[in-house]
Amino acid sequence: MFDKIRNKVLGLFSESGYWWSRVAHAKKLPEVSASDRSIINGLKKEGAYITSLEELGLSSTPFLLQASRKCLQLMTAAGWSVQTEPQICTVTDMLEFSSWGKENRLLKIAENYLGLPVKFQGVHLRRDFPSSKQCGIQRWHWDIEDRRVVKIIVYLNDVDEKTGPFEYIPRNLTSGWSWRRWQITRAAKRPGVFGIADEELTSIIPKSAWRKCIGPAGTVIFVDTASVLHHGTLRTKERSALFFVYTAAIPKRPEECEQYSDLTYQRPDRLVAEPIVNICKPTV
């Protein structure tokens, strides 16, 4: 009992410090353009914002795409022994990916939304395979790296219903003190089960409110995966995408951020020489 009370008090102190830090940093937030303000407002209101590489117009994009094609070729050549799980590679230390992820414009967008000094945690390159049963990250969930998390998803191939688009619930429908939030959290906390399935969520939030992110190659999705309920949908065709991750400089759970820079997942250029079976950790 004492431990529970102590942990509760420490948690309240931590949350109080977090909010005061945001208030103190509010006057230090960097200026952004009107178009980038639209992205930030979309994240605040909806929890997500869809744009494209073309609309962003970042100078490092051609190098990003070229490197992505080469890495995907290596990943394909290496094969994959667990077709029910995504093939994930960490590419954070590769210049073409880190340069794009650290573009000043993207860092400013993330900082304005997070409300605190920002840290680019890293990037995963991922291939998702056809699947007919919801399991793991294909079940609805929230991410837990930080109180707010900006993830930038870049589609590397055309994504339609058959390719398994990223899907989310607008943040206002699962706000912190809502009855729906309580129902979803209760269902998601069952022992030995990660997230909740479509049929369970349908009884809480109608499908008409779900948002599928469909788009051609080059589609870019800004999303706060800690605030919006989300998942990867079932697919009959393969999907390839990049996942860039941003948190506050001091995230709530730094241990959950290590997967974007450590050896949890292999680098693409080491897959053929040293094939391994990756252990899938929930991302999106």
Looking at residue 49, the DSSP 8-state letter turns out to be E
- Structure confidence at residue 95 as a pLDDT band (50, 70, 90): very high
> Cα–Cα distance between 108 and 120 in angstroms, integer?
11
Of 7-11, 16-20, 36-40, 141-145, the poorest mean pLDDT is in: 7-11
Residue 282 has pLDDT above 60, yes or no: no
CB 203 within 8 A of CB 149: no
> Cα–Cα distance between 135 and 26 in angstroms, integer?
40
CB 266 within 8 A of CB 276: yes
- The domains found in the chain, sorted by start residue, are 31-270 (2.60.120.620)
CB 252 within 8 A of CB 142: no
Residue 281 has pLDDT above 90, yes or no: no
Other Cβ atoms less than 10 A from the Cβ of 239: the count is: 24
- Structure confidence at residue 44 as a pLDDT band (50, 70, 90): very high
CB 151 within 8 A of CB 284: yes
- Tell if the pTM clears 0.85, that is, is over it: yes
Of 1-15, 70-84, 204-218, the poorest mean pLDDT is in: 1-15
Of 43-57, 120-134, 267-281, the poorest mean pLDDT is in: 267-281
Q: What is the pLDDT of residue 280?
A: 38
Residue 277 has pLDDT above 50, yes or no: no
Q: What is the pLDDT of residue 275?
A: 45
Instruction: Give the chain's mean pLDDT.
Output: 90
Closest by Cα among 284, 20, 54, 57 to 149: 284
- Structure confidence at residue 166 as a pLDDT band (50, 70, 90): very high
Q: What is the mean pLDDT of residues 168-192?
A: 87
**How, if at all, do strands 230-232 and 166-168 pair?**
antiparallel
Residue 137 has pLDDT above 90, yes or no: no
Closest by Cα among 32, 218, 220 to 109: 32
Q: What is the pLDDT of residue 135?
A: 81
Alpha-helix residue ranges (DSSP H) falling in the chain: 2-25, 34-45, 53-56, 61-78, 95-101, 104-114, 179-188, 198-202
Phi, psi of 79 (to 5 degrees): 75, 180
pLDDT tens digits, residue range 251-267?
999 999 999 999 999 99
Q: What is the pLDDT of residue 124?
A: 98
